[in-house]
Structure 1
């Protein structure tokens, strides 16, 4: 049996301001470097919205839709094909279920990658009710202080009500359990276009 790509061995369970998990050393060093070096660069589209419920601007590429689909893997490097295969497979599902005590073994799953360049952001929001839990993974080699782009875990719908701040540092991630009070946001990325983009992936489990 091959060694799992994703590890939850260094995970801290948190309950403020809502239930979430801080994951460190997600990948072995060689795997983390391979994923970072081959992070997808094409196939993205800008998604942007300004509205009453949620405003945002960022670049998005789907890798696996809820219904599946090999077309989402076109052009992906082998480390990322392995990543998608694992996070849509039974061993990863079982690990998430054991960690969170949520029924994700048979839950529909989607996988996306995101790039946040200069002036990209995501306003305070609570995930839609059909979501159970979201695993966000970070792939930057480093993230400079003052660049913005932190994940903000909020005590309310106010962007100023920051209870926890998670910097998107290399080889870490978070699992966010969806709840009526699970307010969160992504701080606007500061600086010019010559600065680094915030690189992340999301694995989202939906209610059946």
Structure 2
């Protein structure tokens, strides 16, 4: 039996401003490097919305579930295939359930990758009620200060009410438990980022 890719050994539970978990050293160093170097680059589409409701702009690709015609997961590197298989499997579900106390054992799961380039952002919002918990994993080797792109954990629906700021640092991640007060956003990536993109993946468990 192979060693799991994802580790929650260095995870801290936080209650400010709502329940979330900060995960450090998600992968072994060699795996983190290989996943970063083979991060998917094709198959993305720009998703954007502006208006009175939640506004955003970023690039998205869904890795799971996929249509039958996409069963080969279009050029995905071997280690990424292994990661998708792991986070949709029973051992990972058990680890998330043990950590959060949430009933994810039979929950439908969705896996996505995201690229935030210059001027991409995600406005303050609370996740939809059908979501239970979202695990966000970060893949940049480094994320320079003052480039934007931080995850903002908010005390209210106001983007100025920043309680915690989480930099998308290499080989870290967060688990966000959905609640009526779980307001969060992604700070706009500054235009002078010099082509640097914020790279992340999400594993989302939905209510059955």
TM-score by length of 2: 0.97
Render the CA deviation track for 1:33-74: whole Å, top value 9, x for unaligned. 010000000000000001222000000000002x77571611
Q: Is it true that 1:88 corresponds to 2:92 in the alignment?
A: no
* Structure 1 residues 69 and 20: CA distance shift in structure 2, 3 A: farther
Render the CA deviation track for 1:61-104: whole Å, top value 9, x for unaligned. 00002x77571611100010010000000000000000000000
Q: What secondary structure is seen at the aligned counterpart in 2 of 1:47?
A: strand
CA separation in 2, counterparts of 1:108 and 1:24?
Answer: 25
Unaligned runs of 5+ in 1: none
CA separation in 2, counterparts of 1:69 and 1:95?
Answer: 29
* Structure 1 residues 26 and 148: CA distance shift in structure 2, 3 A: same
**Distance apart, 1:136 and its partner CA:** 0.2
CA RMSD of aligned residues (A): 1.2
Partner of residue 43, structure 1: 43
CA separation in 2, counterparts of 1:106 and 1:18?
Answer: 25
TM-score by length of 1: 0.97
**Distance apart, 1:5 and its partner CA:** 0.5
* Structure 1 residues 195 and 18: CA distance shift in structure 2, 3 A: same
Q: What secondary structure is seen at the aligned counterpart in 2 of 1:145?
A: coil
Given that residues 134 and 202 in structure 2 are in contact (C-alpha distance below 8 angstroms), is that contact kept between their aligned partners in structure 1? yes
Render the CA deviation track for 1:116-143: whole Å, top value 9, x for unaligned. 0000000000000000000000000000
CA separation in 2, counterparts of 1:69 and 1:174?
Answer: 31
* Structure 1 residues 119 and 98: CA distance shift in structure 2, 3 A: same
Q: What secondary structure is seen at the aligned counterpart in 2 of 1:92?
A: helix
Q: Which runs of 4+ in 1 moved over 2 A?
A: 67-70, 191-195
Given that residues 155 and 161 in structure 2 are in contact (C-alpha distance below 8 angstroms), is that contact kept between their aligned partners in structure 1? yes
CA separation in 1, counterparts of 2:126 and 2:201?
Answer: 18
Q: What secondary structure is seen at the aligned counterpart in 2 of 1:136?
A: strand
5 Å-filtered alignment, 1:135-154, equals: 135-154=135-154
5 Å-filtered alignment, 1:7-86, equals: 7-65=7-65, 71=70, 73-86=73-86
Partner of residue 110, structure 1: 110
